[in-house]
A and B are shown apart, each in its own frame.
Chain A
Amino acid sequence: MYPENLYYTKDHEWLKVEGDEAIIGITDFAQKQLGDIIYVDLPQVGKVLEAHQALASVESVKSVSDVFSPVSGEVIAVNEALSQTPDVINKDPHGEGWIVRIRIKNKEELNNLLKAADYEKYLEGLEH
């Protein structure tokens, strides 16, 4: 169920590479855990991120979670639609619910990320 063309993290972010750029969002597992998302605190375009640095926060009614950047890079666009309709993350987490687009600083870091099959295996482990 997790698309093969995405990378994943143990913090439940996904990353899609497009040339030197990448789109980042949170996984279907993450949105289910959070419940109805009511607000997304988006970063400024131009923000420079280290890998594992908090890039946004996602709020449900009674919780708030940081979204960490899977790799280092610079924010070049944010999903403005989320400020009006944050629940699009619940409806389409791996597509319309993307959060930011970054310019990747070092493609080597992609090797540290999980493939779909590994992520699914990781989730199975969490369920026990």
Chain B
Amino acid sequence: MSYIPISDRDKMEMLAKIGVNSVEELFSSIPENVRLKKDLNLPAPRSEMEVLDYFTEKGKKNDFSRYLHFLGGGAYEHFIPAVVDYLSSRSEFVTPYTPYQPEVSQGTLQVIFEFQTLICQLTGLDMANASLYDGATGAAEAILMGYRLKNKKRLLVASNVNPQYREVIYTYTKNLGLEVVEIPYDQSGRIDRAGLTASLNDDTSVLLCQSPNYFGVIEDVKSLAELAHNQGALLAVVISEPVSLGLLEAPGKLGADIVTGEAQSFGLPLSFGGPFLGFMACKKEFVRQMPGRIAGQTVDVEGRRGFVLTLSTREQHIRREKATSNICTNQAHCALRATIYLETLGHEGLKKLAWLNLQKAAYAAEQLTSLPGVSRKFSGPVFNEFVLEFPDRWEKIDKKLQEKGILGGLALGHHYSGLENCALITVTEVHHKEKIDAYVQALKEVLS
């Protein structure tokens, strides 16, 4: 980012332009007693070179390359082919403003349209939007969309949905007078059927589940859809690891009405937490209640193929307070990266990638559970994540593993009571056999 200095002369010019004599006068509307009447407590000015040295030194603290990690739970390390960085950094893609003017935005609009098409293919649904902030806001928007469609105050959220997603759902719904009910999980790690049946009634708008869920367990989406529909409710499915869709049946084909989630796995680096990439798709009949921008295909006056933003009357610049959402946007550049990534892999490539993830995770689970006192916590089928139970509190084991340079899994105890001895372990294509074996060896040493 460029450094833009401000000289005393610049300041005087700006003040003169707006007709005030001093900076103090500019802020005269701020009450005296809350004004800071001294300089900020900052170190002395430094040269550009010194500043660079200072932050480079600080940045070294963030070096996690010294760790071998097996972390996931909503943020996944996948290999990103160089073509993604190369194409997405082309200036035509980096510099354009939001595509309100289709006549000068065909490239951007076409990318969004292709992204939507890919999301429709992966989710098995008719319509997708141009993207949302992230999986968490996608989940919250899906809940609100379900409520708008059914107008019933009861909203069911599975407790094995990512805890951070659930927090965002609570933030979004807290002041709307809605009743959000959490559904327990069973020994397989899936939604507990008895718990679900007890809470699912004809006053329910929507059931929101995640698959694979936060424990890595694949839900039986088809039967959840049937149960929800039998009570007149909708089924919304959250996908936080969309690589799984390379192998698993598209939720839309299993009866899901809304599918939303996180597409960070598709060509976006972890980057200490963002930016991530939310997506959302739904059945055609529900599109008018879907939040967010939508690009559509059309023809120009000469009959040539072109793209425009469409169904805009759902959005806040037209419908204002009655818009489907006033707290969403699209992540066009992240969606561009996901589009390039998916189009590079292709249908077969994504399937192979999913196989690699599944097989490596299965190998890791098999090896780790061969150690005494280590077992799978849940019996349900998994993709590239699984929960292991250890003979001691995970924090203790985790600490010892970190001393050996391994981040062995995500703690679950602070979100789920009873899982204090458990961790969520994630294995993707970046984990060579040697890495998995190194983890198994380290854990063996820690436990003995």
Q: Give A contacts to B, CB under 8 Å.
A: 39, 41, 59, 61-64
Contacts and interface: CB of A to CB of B under 8 A. Distances in A.
A61 B312 CA distance: 8
B313 interface: yes
Contacts of A59: 313
B288 to A, nearest CB: 7
A64 B318 contact: yes
Contacts of A63: 313, 318
Contacts of B288: 39, 41
Nearest to A63: B318
A74 B319 CA distance: 26
Interface string B262-283: 0000000000000000000000
B297 to A, nearest CB: 16
Contacts of A62: 312-313, 318
Given A39-B313, A62-B318, A64-B319, 8 more contacts: A41-B288, A61-B312, A61-B313, A62-B312, A62-B313, A63-B318, A64-B313, A64-B318
Interface in B301-331: 312-313, 318-319
A46 to B, nearest CB: 13
A112 B284 CA distance: 42
Contacts of A61: 312-313
- Among A41, A59, A62: residue with most chain B CB under 10 A: A59
Chain B: interface size category:
under 10
A64 B288 CA distance: 13
Contacts of B313: 39, 59, 61-64
Interface of B: 288, 312-313, 318-319
Nearest to B320: A64
A57 to B, nearest CB: 8
14 contacts: A39-B288, A39-B313, A41-B288, A59-B313, A61-B312, A61-B313, A62-B312, A62-B313, A62-B318, A63-B313, A63-B318, A64-B313, A64-B318, A64-B319
B65 to A, nearest CB: 51
A62 B312 CA distance: 7
A42 to B, nearest CB: 12
Contacts of A41: 288
- Listed from nearest, the 3 A-B pairs whose CB atoms lie closest are A64-B313, A59-B313, A64-B319
A31 B318 CA distance: 18
Contacts of A39: 288, 313
B232 to A, nearest CB: 14
Most buried by A among B288, B313, B318: B313
Contacts of A64: 313, 318-319
A67 to B, nearest CB: 13
A106 B313 CA distance: 34
Contacts of B319: 64
A23 to B, nearest CB: 25
Contacts of B318: 62-64
B388 to A, nearest CB: 51
A111 B355 CA distance: 73
B316 to A, nearest CB: 12
B86 to A, nearest CB: 38
Nearest to B312: A62
A39 B311 CA distance: 10
A62 B313 CA distance: 6
A108 B63 CA distance: 77
A41 B289 CA distance: 11
B323 to A, nearest CB: 10
A63 B288 CA distance: 14
A59 B312 CA distance: 10
Contacts of B312: 61-62
Nearest to A60: B313
A100 B288 CA distance: 21
A63 B322 CA distance: 12
A122 B237 CA distance: 52
A96 to B, nearest CB: 23
Most central of A39, A63, A64 by chain B CB within 10 Å:
A64
A49 B312 CA distance: 28
A83 to B, nearest CB: 11
A39 B313 CA distance: 10
A63 B319 CA distance: 8
A119 to B, nearest CB: 27
B295 to A, nearest CB: 15
B1 to A, nearest CB: 36
B151 to A, nearest CB: 9
B287 to A, nearest CB: 11
A62 B288 CA distance: 14
A96 B318 CA distance: 28
A39 B289 CA distance: 13
B314 to A, nearest CB: 9
B315 to A, nearest CB: 10
A70 B312 CA distance: 28
A61 B318 CA distance: 10
